[in-house]
Structure 1
Amino acid sequence: MVEHHICTFCGEPLEPGTGKMYVRKDGSIYYFCSPKCQSNYDLKRVPRRVVWTKAGRKALGKE
């Protein structure tokens, strides 16, 4: 059975075999669907304030 993951930043589901897994020194695991999501995470942006993420759309009342 293939594991399905969700992008840590934007909240979109990842297709099996795609994306990138990032493991921090403290053992926490982050999954990214694209370099766009990873660079926004590296810039310490909050997903609630970014309009195109699921959390951002929910915060704006669009979904």
Structure 2
Amino acid sequence: MVVKTLTCSFSEYKIYPGHGGMYIRKDGQPVHFLNHKCCSLGSQKKKPARIRWTTAWRRNNKKIEAAEKSKRRSKKSFKVQKAICGMNQEIAKKSREAILAEIKNRRAKKASHK
């Protein structure tokens, strides 16, 4: 049999059936408190991270291990040759080779004139 437990909005402790209280905020959000101590501190708008016995303080000060965040694996990028304006890779390669050959010829002519 599974016992339905809630968590205290202030201390983050488990609230078992028959214990604790619930407070409805003005915006309609229910807030669960474990005991009167938590209810009082929560209604005074105290920060749980500043009160030593709360789970938030223990987590911030590394007294308990927080659940490790799983690191997102980034997708490895890889190069893909895409067609340019209907030209495929072979046509682009041939035109590039022709332009390079023309540049080499110009350089050779300039070198021979000097």
Q: Secondary structure at the match of 1:37?
A: helix
- Name 1:23's counterpart in structure 2: 24
Summarize the alignment of residues 1-63 of structure 1 with structure 2, pairs less than 5 Å apart.
3-63=4-64
TM-score, normalised with respect to structure 1: 0.89
Higher helix share: 2
- Aligned residue pairs, count: 63
Normalising to structure 2: TM-score of the pair? Answer: 0.52
The C-alpha deviation readout for 1:20-45, integer Å capped at 9, x for no partner, is 01001211110001100011111111
Deviation at 1:53, TM superposition (A): 0.3
CA RMSD of aligned residues (A): 1.4
Instruction: Using CA pairs under 8 Å that are at least 6 residues apart, name the structure with larger relative contact order, 1 or 2.
Output: 1
CA distance in 2, matches of 1:21, 1:3: 15
Larger radius of gyration: 2
